[in-house]
Amino acid sequence: MILYPAIDLKDGQCVRLLHGEMDKATVFGDDPAAQAARFEAAGCEWLHLVDLNGAFAGQPVNAAAVEAILGRVTVPAQLGGGIRDMATIEMWLGKGLARVILGTVAVENRALVREAARAFPDRVAVGIDARDGRVATKGWAEETDVMVTDLARSFEDAGVAAIIYTDINRDGAMQGPNVASTEALARAVTIPVIASGGVSSLADLLALRDTGVIAGAISGRALYDGAIDLGAALAALRG
């Protein structure tokens, strides 16, 4: 299982939100590229980047910070937030991102996801963010009646690289991930599932890994707070 350190970008800074609410942001640093370099030095295989402003604006906002990160590290990075048309997908992949994450548009324009996945094999992921099993969009500000498993299954034959599943109620709260719902989703589809939201200890990571079906896990606040030591966690997961 791959551990993806998260760098959430708001106004050019590294932050973490509580339950996805922009007015509940904790700033962890004003040099995202330096933070990315620290994660890389600790041995991570991937980085997970989120343009929080972009998720609300519907277009890239923290592009300068993302480009600075891409210029600083060599490990592959995936980015979500405000990527809602083919031009933006092409722009980011052309700048060196390994993978784009489509969230809101995966609900509103499934045909675009399919088109992008065909055009860029293994470089398009779907971000599914949910409260109580229902998908939320536009930076989690809008709730839908779409069920997580139904949305995930609709992309089974699309060729997407991964599904990043976030339980919003757990995100940033340091209360542990929703292992059961993440495992259930991973067993319901053949697409690799990456867990996000609430990963706050090594025990959480091992619980996700030990399901045997979860391909990756994203952690942010716990790494900044020191609740998870990245080097030790990477070693444990490899072991």
Residues marked active site are found at 8, 129
The CA distances from residue 203 to 10, 198, 200, 206, in Å, are 29, 12, 8, 5
Contacts of 86 (CB under 8 A, 6+ apart): 112, 115, 116, 119
> Alpha-carbon distance 103 to 125, whole Å?
9
> Alpha-carbon distance 35 to 161, whole Å?
26
Nearest Cα to 54, choosing from 32, 93, 27, 22? 22
3 state SS of 88: helix
Strand 142-147 with 162-167, pairing: unpaired
